[in-house]
Amino acid sequence: MLYMFWKTFLHLVIIILLTIVTQVGGIIYLITILFIGKKKSKKQIKRLSVFTALYLTATFLIIPNIAPFFGREKIKETQHLKAHSLFYKLANRNYVKPALNKSLNEISIAFEKQQNGIQLVYLDANFPFIDKFPLLPHLSHNDGKKIDVSLIYEKQNGEGTNMKKSISGYGVFETPKKTETNQNNICKSKGYWQYDFPKYLTLGTVNSTLKLSEKGTSKLAREILKHKNIGKVFIEPHLKNRLRLTNNKVRFHGCQAVRHDDHIHFQLN
């Protein structure tokens, strides 16, 4: 009896985690459990094989064709526009409204012309289905209108690069200088303990010698701001000032969110 309880509990935890991370993984796992019954021999291996096959088929063949009925489409990658890692595509976190997809393509082409060879690298966007379904740990990536893109970095010799500072693309911050506003300290002093939580989401730090390309990041932000259908851009206050971003679309996201000096968030009107 106790064994069955813990077994059921474990399945429930897996379903919840897969749903949180991928939106559709939980239901595919549930289908797999029902399909490969407990009396099957070598059931664990069979369940893993069936789940993997079903999940990959759904992610790369079925969901891209269903998502447009929910007003979203998969981000169209080009030589100018890439996901930071395969994770964002495997986890179905690469869906946006068609208008945002169009803007992403235009921004990436224009930016690459200015910064020869430097791509627009995206992180979390949105799930493919259902408005208001949360894409954790974000508060607002739930309607197809939002996306995070990486900051631009350069090597020690000043040469631009497509490399980033963490495996996930999040969590390695461009901290404020002594003369700049430290919004992290301000928010945490008010009790918003989660403000720098992404430091736990790096999945490992890499390329430690890279430094922020202020020129490249500023050009990227300005290219984003040129688009009339972009309503808000979130970046940490000290970077907004350092990069001289005076457009009123550039906002402070609030202490209830997390810090934005490891990426730029922008969204449709």
The residues pairing with 150 across neighbouring beta strands, listed in sequence order, are 263
Residue 6 is predicted with a pLDDT of 81
Average pLDDT over residues 166-185: 97
**Ordered domains of the chain (ranges, CATH):** 2-68 (no CATH), 74-268 (3.30.1380.10)
What does the pLDDT look like over 119-173, one tens digit per residue?
A: 999 999 999 999 999 999 998 999 999 999 999 999 999 999 999 999 999 999 9
Average pLDDT over residues 194-214: 96
Peptide bond into 137 cis (omega under 30): yes
* DSSP alpha helix (H) spans, the chain: 2-22, 25-35, 43-57, 63-66, 86-90, 98-114, 183-189, 214-225, 237-242
Q: How many CB atoms lie within 10 A of CB 78?
A: 14
Cα 193 to Cα 71, 107, 108, 258: the distances in Å are 35, 34, 35, 9
- Model confidence at 40, pLDDT cuts 50, 70, 90, reads low
Average pLDDT over residues 28-47: 81
Burial of 194 (0-12, 13-18, 19+ CB in 10 A): middle
Mean pLDDT, the chain, rounded, equals 95
| Paired sense of beta strands 81-83 and 120-122, if any | parallel
Find how far residue 22's CA is from the centre of its chain. Answer: 12
Structure tokens at 5: 């309880």
| Euclidean distance between CA atoms 238 and 124, whole angstroms | 23
| Euclidean distance between CA atoms 239 and 182, whole angstroms | 10
Residue 41 is predicted with a pLDDT of 61
What is the DSSP secondary-structure string of 223-234? HHHT-TTEEEEE
